Amino acid sequence: MISFKTPYLPSEVGYDSERLEVLNRHFAKMLEANELQSANYCLSRDGKIFANTAMGKLSYKEEDERPVQPDTIQNIASVTKLFCASAIFKLVEDGRLRLDQCVGEFIEEFKAPPFNKINLAHLLTHTSGMMPDPGCFDNKYFKSPWEFVRQMKGTNWIEAALASGMRKQPGEEWAYCSFGFAILGEVISRVSGTFANDYIMENIVRPCGMEDTFFDLTAETAVRHAVRNPQMEKEIDSILAGKTKAKDSWSKIPSTGGGLHSTALDLCKFGTMLLNKGTYDGKRILGRKAVEKMTALHTTPDVKDYCWNAGGVSREYGLGPDMRHNLASLYTKGTFFHEGAGGCCILIDPAEKLVAAWFVPFVNNVWRAHALYNAAAVMWSGLE
C-alpha cells in the first residue's frame, strides 16, 4: 500500500482516521480474493484533501509486479459524462442554448420523427427513448446505436446510429444511453465552434487545476497509466513506441460519453468545484445557479428503470449526475455521483462537504457491488 502525503490530516477535517484502516482492509480483502486488480482512492472534505492511497498492481499481467500509485492515471469511463454535463451548463449560462431545446435545432438528423421530440434534458437524464447501451436488457440479438455506426463506417455517424430506432417515447423511461452523451458532445462542438473534447479541456478540466486529466494520452502520461487488459496494453505500447494513431471517422465523434483519463486526486478537484457551486481555488468555472440546476433531482417518480434487471424502480437522476439514495446509502439524500465502467466512482455529498473518488479495476471485468456501494458506506462512516 502506498499513501501520498496530504495537505490535511483526517482529524483536521472531522474524520476518524481509524475508518481509513477499515477501508484499506476492505479493499485488501478484495485484492486477496482476486476480485480487483488494484484500489486507489482520494478523499476531500470542504476542499481539504486528507487521504490519497493506492494498493495493488499497475498491470493485469501476473508477471508484472509494478505497484499502482496514488497518481496512476486511469480511464474514468462514464464519469466523463459529468464533465460533458458541466460543459452543457457552461453553454446554458452563457446564453448559447437551453435545456428545453430539441436536438433537431442543432443536428439536422434529429428533425425527423421519431427523434424530433428529444430535447437536451432528455439526453442528460437518459430518458431520450433512444436505444440504450449493450447489456442493459437481456436480448442477445440487440444492436446498440454504436453497432450501426461500426457497420456503416465512413458514412454519417449520426444517421447510421439513428437506424437503431427508438425504444420508448422521450421522457417515458430511464434507460442508460451513452450514445446520447456523444450527441450532447456534438451539440457542444456545433454551438461553441470548438470540438467538444477540446472545449471540456479548456473550460472545465484546466480551470479546475487538473494536471493529470486528458482525452488523449501521450508518451509522458501513458507510462503512468494503469494497464487493465490486453487492449489497453497494446494502446499504451503503441503510444510509448511513438506510433501516431491514424485519424479515422471515429476520431470525429466526441468522446463525451466515456473518453477521459484521470487520477483520483484530479477527480477530487473536479468534485470540489461542484461542491463549491462552480468555483475552484478562487476561480469561477460554472455559476452557482448552473451547478444547483445540474445537481438537483430532475426525474419524477413515474420515470421507471428496468436496466440491468432493476425491475421498474423509480430512477432518481439529476441533469447529468446520478442521485439514487436507497438502503445501501450512508451518504446524505441529495448527494450526487457517477460510476464508471471498469470500475470507478465519484461521490459528492454537499451536506457533509465530502468528496470521494476511487478506482477499483475489476478482474475479468466482473462488476462488484461491494467495491462501490460497500466501500462508499465505509468512507462515509468516518464522518465525525
Task: List, for residues 13-26, the tens digit of each pLDDT value.
Answer: 999 999 999 999 99
Cα-Cα-Cα-Cα dihedral sign, residues 126, 128, 134, 137: positive
* pLDDT recorded at residue 358: 98
Other CB atoms within a 10 A radius of the CB of residue 211 amount to 13
Distance CA 311, CA 34 (A): 30
Distance CA 200, CA 291 (A): 16
* pLDDT recorded at residue 247: 72
Q: What's the mean per-residue pLDDT of the chain?
A: 96
DSSP state of 115: S
Can you read off the three cell numbers belonging to residue 33?
480474493
* pLDDT recorded at residue 133: 96
pLDDT band for position 237 (cuts 50, 70, 90): very high
* pLDDT recorded at residue 154: 65
Distance CA 110, CA 103 (A): 6
Q: Which residue has the cell 460533458?
A: 84
As a whole number, mean pLDDT of residues 197-224 equals: 97
As a whole number, mean pLDDT of residues 50-79 equals: 97
Please report which helix (H) or strand (E) contains residue 243, including its range.
none
Task: List, for residues 297-329, the tens digit of each pLDDT value.
Answer: 999 999 999 999 999 999 999 999 999 999 999
As a whole number, mean pLDDT of residues 32-38 equals: 98
Residue 319 in contact with residue 85, Cβ under 8 Å?
Answer: yes
The set of residues, in sequence order, having a beta carbon less than 8 Å from that of 235 and lying 6+ positions away, is 217, 222
Q: Which residue has the cell 468522446?
A: 255
* pLDDT recorded at residue 153: 72
* pLDDT recorded at residue 112: 96
The per-residue DSSP string of 121-174 comes to HHHHTT-S-B---TTSSS-TT---HHHHHHHTTTS-HHHHHHTT-BSS-TTSEE
Residue 41 in contact with residue 264, Cβ under 8 Å?
Answer: yes
pLDDT band for position 250 (cuts 50, 70, 90): confident
pLDDT band for position 246 (cuts 50, 70, 90): low
Other CB atoms within a 10 A radius of the CB of residue 157 amount to 22
* pLDDT recorded at residue 6: 98
Choose among 377, 359, 368: nearest CA to 72: 359
Fold of 73-259+286-324: Beta-lactamase (3.40.710)
* pLDDT recorded at residue 96: 98
pTM summary value: 0.97
